[in-house]
Structure 1
Amino acid sequence: MADGGIIRDVPGGIPRQVNVSCSPTVFQFEQLSAETCILMNVLGYGPHIRQARIDAFKAHDRHMTALARGNSTWVTTGSKAEGLTNYRESDTDSMCVTNHVMCLEEGVDSSIVPGEKSIFRSCSRISYHGHCRLLLERYGTRIPTIINNALCDDGYGSGLLSSDLYVNQMLNVKYMYNERTVGHERAGPSAPFTSNGIDHADLVGALHFKCPSILTRWAARHRNWPSSDVVQEVVSLGAFVSPVGVKGSDYEPVEWRMCFNTGENMLVNNLHDTQVKLYVLLKMVKNDVLKPCKKEVTSFIVKNIVLWIAENNPQSLFNERSLFHWLHEGLYALRVAIDTKELPYYMIPERNLMAACALEHEQKLSLIATIDEMMKDGPRLILRLPKIRQAIIAHPEPLRWYSGRRIEVEMLRLIASNRMVEILQLIAKNRIDEETDGILKQDVIMQANLRRQKEIVMEVGLRMIMEGSRVNDMGDVLNSMLM
């Protein structure tokens, strides 16, 4: 540590701690780091806009859960729940969690579960870490059809819940908002669909999972982050099981994966602003530079690298002037994960996130070579990221002008989306027969929202025309602003 180096003794090669007091050159390019943070705030990655997105999707989840009338709980996951993407910048990932079923870890007393709920007992002895099979222990007073149709025999006369059959059942669930929604073929554990021909989403059916021993082990780790209050809140949020097995496993069709989506949302939302920007930049590297063909490197892998870095380093080392240092460390950790095909899952370290990635030798060498080149580039590596490069080239005044309007349109769109679900709730509650479109036209809040969106789009379109662009369709302008 005397030379300000990194202790890389954490599984997966994640940086453990940096001693910045011994070397004035450890954090290089401090001014460029600070300017990049400011630029990312303008682009919509600042704390205020992130929190507004997070709050909007939490409200959406509450409305959708209320619309389900106690049958299920709606949870937005991924980048949308983390507040890190624009309205249409990526697909919306959601979980629909059945409330009439409880899955229990081995050793948990089933008498604590209300009698109306069916109970499944997890069996993980012959499954890979973080996965399990679900054996029926008790029928509840109300058995969801999707559960009943996914049951099969385990060969010993007991009920076994098939993850494969469960996903196929999810494809037939009428969860759509309206008649403009089109379902697609299954993609792994998810049932993808498209609304209004342009808004793409992935819906995963999941079950509640009570696993105190796993969460207790996670909470007991020595760590620099998060605080004890956040740790306890993550524990209180519990876990889920999603219908996906280990690829290539003999039991893949009946295996379920343990996941902690609400807890992970909480963790990301409690990251330091610099750690969040590190996460965003690494995701840009993954999407725009590495461009994995078959999800050999995913956003989930990148997120786990950032969570390990946050846990294993003093929080005083993270500030806007150290962004490029941590970007270098994040790239190094990603390089190690690709090279060794090892990266421990943050919640269950025994599970290797790289174990099932279809990474061929030549592709691995290519990815490593690309990362090595970026690390040698220093701060110039961000010029490889189209969104950052375009913002650097742009004049500051037009960039701020446009970004302000783009963010306002995004917020209006999120408000409109939530208002739509509120109206659907009113229709369901009051059993109104009138068409939804007719009610929307009478809704003062929705009409004011749409009117303001139109004003902003017309303003942006007019400026584009004045600056020489050929704009014929304001709808195209709106769609580009939401990407």
Structure 2
Amino acid sequence: MAALNMSIKHTFDALDKCGYSRPSANKRIQIMDNAGKMASLFYTKKTNEDIDLVIAGSRGEGIGRYFDCDLDRLFIQRSVMCYAAYPTPSTHVRYAAEFRLDFQNTSNGYCRLKLISKQSQTTSEAKNFAFLQNMETAIHIENGEAFLRNDKILTSAMQHLKRTGWLAQSVIYDVDDGPSKPYECRVPFSKYAFKIDNVLCFKCVHPTIIQEWCDRKREHDWPSSEIVEQVKGVDVLVVPVGETADEVLQWRISLVLAELVLAHSFNDVQLKVYGALKMLSKNVFRKSCDNMSSYMIKNVVFWVSEKTQNCEFEQGKLLDRITDGLIFLRKCVDEGQLPNYMIPGRNLLKYKLSYTERENVLIDIDNCLQAGEHAFLECPELIQMSDEAEAGVNDTAFKELAEESIYSLYTFPLMEGAKLIKKLYSLKSGKDVVKFYLKKIFPKIRENNPLDFFCHICSKTDKEILRILKP
């Protein structure tokens, strides 16, 4: 029993050090939430468009650290509304562009966007002028009806940056022409880069899809009634589909904002289960099938959480809950059916696994079940931390300091922060960027260490910081 308790503690502490803890996640969530609001102000002013920017994915959930995961940014175009059922005139608030969700000949949770109305363009100075102009080039006429393509860049906020400053010049754009517009942004004086995915989103009125989830019968106490009520209040989105060239008219109903609410409600052990399974997916399962995504893992944790009493997610039962997740995933892979947690009719494994990949992933899961905690304690992230400790080398300290430096800007008040972002984009060299942080950002951080997050910046001099950050 003592050996088992030590094993659990070892696992628990290792996942803590990787950022999978509730206190650590909460701090990052607050910073990313502020970053999204700050960026919304910046892009609204820069593009003269009605834009809300939300940071989703692992970073929005508070568990994305360093440079190991993408920065997923949702550009929600507020001048557009999509309707499952068009409202009556007496209750109708008009938008610059309005679409009907057309579900004919589409899979569960997918649709096409049929144009209902579009605001007439006036002058180039008018709000959303560029967006509406771009939208005209993305309209496809079919049987006399207008549908919106998903493969065009509609918002100016997602267009390639003008190469006028160091940050813009350091950006490397992916050749992908799909709806997600990925690129990398280098970190000054380092070998690292942030990978960024931008996705255009529209709000939609589709009350039944949320209500069906809220009304679903559940055996246990997760999610709580308070969380269910919170989910009722979030926006439903439509996002582009980019899996094949034949799907240029396909859009997907997205409950990503509801999923953020659910992920934010995880307790400390649920987060660690999520983290352990993500590590296994990245370092083991994806070697057998590249389509085994962290999004699938998140849905596994959602399902396991709903099917398990909340009191069972405690430190002493961490390994049991990780095992539950692996067993549930194995069943899904074996049957070729992983239901989306929010929209169960959508199968996340559909067309994702060949027969050979399926067999190999099943072998991987069985090996992990047999190996127990050793399966993820041998993941590169944990091995690197152990090797650094033995060798006296600390690449992790560099990553932590680099992350603190980047995040520090996003703790400023919104209006001040938006102005600082504008200034940052105007800087001509990497040295100017470093000087900007040393003179404008770090002194403010050292005054009060927001969220008690910036320990490296507050405990080190500028010279010490430069010595760590420079190669």
Query: Under a length normalisation based on structure 2, what TM-score does the superposition of the two structures give?
Result: 0.80
8 A contact 1:246–1:255 mirrored in 2 = no
230, 236, 251: which one aligns with 2:227:
230
Tell me how far 1:200 sits from its aligned partner.
1.9
145, 153, 161: which one aligns with 2:141:
153
Tell me how far 1:326 sits from its aligned partner.
1.0
Q: Secondary structure at the match of 1:225?
A: coil
Tell me how far 1:245 sits from its aligned partner.
5.7
| CA shift digits 1:417-458 (9 cap, x unpaired) | 56699667337999x999795997498442536994894797
178, 186, 191: which one aligns with 1:196:
186
- Measure the CA separation in 2 of the matches of 1:243 and 1:167: 12
Q: Secondary structure at the match of 2:272?
A: helix
Q: Is 1:368 the equivalent of 2:346?
A: no
237, 242, 251: which one aligns with 1:240:
237
Counterpart AA for 1:196: R
300, 320, 326: which one aligns with 2:295:
300
Tell me how far 1:65 sits from its aligned partner.
0.7
1:165 maps to: 152
1:128 maps to: 107
8 A contact 1:63–1:418 mirrored in 2 = no
Q: Secondary structure at the match of 1:191?
A: coil
- Measure the CA separation in 2 of the matches of 1:353 and 1:447: 44
Q: Which runs of 5+ in 2 are unaligned?
A: 121-127, 188-192, 447-455
1:17 maps to: none
Q: Secondary structure at the match of 2:368?
A: helix
1:416 maps to: 409
1:466 maps to: none
Q: Secondary structure at the match of 1:296?
A: coil
Tell me how far 1:377 sits from its aligned partner.
1.7
- Measure the CA separation in 2 of the matches of 1:409 and 1:93: 19
- Measure the CA separation in 2 of the matches of 1:446 and 1:88: 21
Query: Under a length normalisation based on structure 1, what TM-score does the superposition of the two structures give?
Result: 0.78
- Measure the CA separation in 2 of the matches of 1:386 and 1:183: 28
8 A contact 1:103–1:122 mirrored in 2 = yes
2:175 maps to: 185
- Distance change in 2, residues 1:175/1:187 (3 Å): same
2:210 maps to: 215
- Measure the CA separation in 2 of the matches of 1:110 and 1:201: 41
1:343 maps to: 338
Q: Secondary structure at the match of 2:181?
A: strand
8 A contact 2:140–2:149 mirrored in 1 = yes
Q: Secondary structure at the match of 1:136?
A: strand
1:314 maps to: 309
Counterpart AA for 1:275: Q
8 A contact 1:30–1:322 mirrored in 2 = no
- Measure the CA separation in 1 of the matches of 2:407 and 2:422: 23
- Distance change in 2, residues 1:411/1:154 (3 Å): same
- Give runs of aligned pairs for residues 18-417 of structure 1, distance below 5 A: 29-69=4-44, 71-106=50-85, 108-109=87-88, 112-140=91-119, 144=131, 145-155=133-143, 157-166=144-153, 172=159, 174=161, 178-186=168-176, 188-196=178-186, 198-223=193-218, 224-244=221-241, 247=244, 252-292=247-287, 295-357=290-352, 359-391=353-385, 407=400, 410-416=403-409
- Measure the CA separation in 1 of the matches of 2:354 and 2:112: 30
Q: Taking every aligned residue pair, what percent have the same amino acid on both sides? A: 22
Counterpart AA for 1:410: E
- Measure the CA separation in 1 of the matches of 2:436 and 2:157: 33
8 A contact 2:79–2:96 mirrored in 1 = yes
| CA shift digits 1:377-425 (9 cap, x unpaired) | 22332333222345567769989x9978864653343013566996673
Counterpart AA for 1:240: L
Tell me how far 1:195 sits from its aligned partner.
1.9
Q: Is 1:426 the equivalent of 2:416?
A: no
| CA RMSD, Structure 1 to Structure 2 (Å) | 3.8
- Measure the CA separation in 2 of the matches of 1:267 and 1:182: 33
- Distance change in 2, residues 1:108/1:351 (3 Å): farther
- Distance change in 2, residues 1:194/1:407 (3 Å): closer
8 A contact 1:40–1:46 mirrored in 2 = yes
Q: Which runs of 5+ in 1 are unaligned?
A: 1-24, 463-472, 477-483
Counterpart AA for 2:230: E
Tell me how far 1:93 sits from its aligned partner.
1.1
